[in-house]
Amino acid sequence: MAMTQKLPIAVSMIARNEAHNLPRSLGSVADWVQEIVVIVNDCTDSTEAIAREFGATVIDHPWEGYRDQKRYALTQVKTPWVLALDADEEVSESLRADIHAFFQGDHEWFQGAMFPRKVWFLGRWITHGDWYPDWSLRLFRNGKGHWSGSPEHDKIELDGSVKRLRGDLYHYSNPTLNSHVEKITVFGDYFLNRQIEKGRKWSLVETLLRPWWRFFRAYVLRRGFLDGFPGFYIAKATAFATFVRYSRLYEYECGKRKLP
């Protein structure tokens, strides 16, 4: 199948104020997919206009949370296959070639395909530690995959067999350290709510040991040290974020105590 031929794939995306990311993301797929569906909400920039420039069907839909918004996006897709992309992701040339090769015959035997996701962070690609290869199932037959998981960590669940492709999906999720640090609070809130729903109690052992384990796993076992200072930062920040999350349950239990 020629690289210039459009594949029977629809890109499914949700976006809010993503004008700075869309040219890169949609530009990596617009010339070889048959359909692009972008679900927007509460945009105050040129997100909608840019998406339409790339031939996207743009639908304004009230925000339901990441997972459920993506579920709605899937209901608007008409093409036989779906490539679920985030606005801060880009299909690399190698992944594009792998997807084209997949549609030369393998797609008849599989219901989906997964591929590694590579993050650009602190001026370099991260290729070790907790952040890579981050295998992501994003290409699947329409009707065979659905979004599941927690509100902050959604994922595709597939009914059928999966092919592994080697090309990378590029991810530009943390353009600055500030943007990364801000997520610690957001994910801490989600984590706390889940623990409360499960009836979990604060544990000193978990609060002290889990951060050290996360650092050791990311930096040593998964060779984060090979990514230089960014690798050290990621391992250290992951450990700190883990410490914050488990400390939030302690804070919650303190808040239930009566003042003297």
In order, the DSSP letters of 110-121 are -SEEEE-EEEEE
Domain with CATH 3.90.550.10 in the chain: 7-171
Calpha distance 66→151 (Å, rounded): 6
Half-sphere exposure of 82 (CA within 13 A, CB side): 28
- Structure-block tokens of residue 259: 């003042």
72-125 residue pLDDT tens: 999 999 999 999 999 999 999 999 999 999 999 899 999 999 999 999 999 999
Percent of the chain with pLDDT over 90: 92
Length of the chain counted residue by residue: 260
The per-residue pLDDT of the chain, averaged, comes to: 95
Cis amide leading into 211 (omega within 30): no
Residue with tokens 């976006």: 15
Residue 259 has pLDDT above 70, yes or no: no
All residues at 6 or more sequence positions from 60 whose CB lies less than 8 Å from its CB, including other chains:
39, 40, 41, 48
211-255 residue pLDDT tens: 999 999 999 999 999 999 999 999 999 999 999 999 999 999 998
54-75 residue pLDDT tens: 999 999 999 998 999 999 999 9
Burial 174-204 (b: 16+ CB within 10 A, else e): beeeeebeeebeebbeebbeebeeeeeebee
Calpha distance 139→117 (Å, rounded): 13
Residue 145: strand pairing partners: 158
Distances from the Cα of 97 to the Cαs of 24, 100, 150, 167, in angstroms?
Answer: 18, 5, 32, 8
Q: What is the mean pLDDT of residues 151-164?
A: 91
Q: Tell me how far the alpha carbon of residue 36 is from its chain's centroid.
A: 18
Superfamily of domain 7-171: Spore Coat Polysaccharide Biosynthesis Protein SpsA; Chain A (3.90.550.10)
Task: Write down the pLDDT at residue 255.
Answer: 85
Where do runs of H (alpha helix) occur along the chain?
22-27, 47-53, 66-75, 93-102, 177-198, 204-216, 228-255
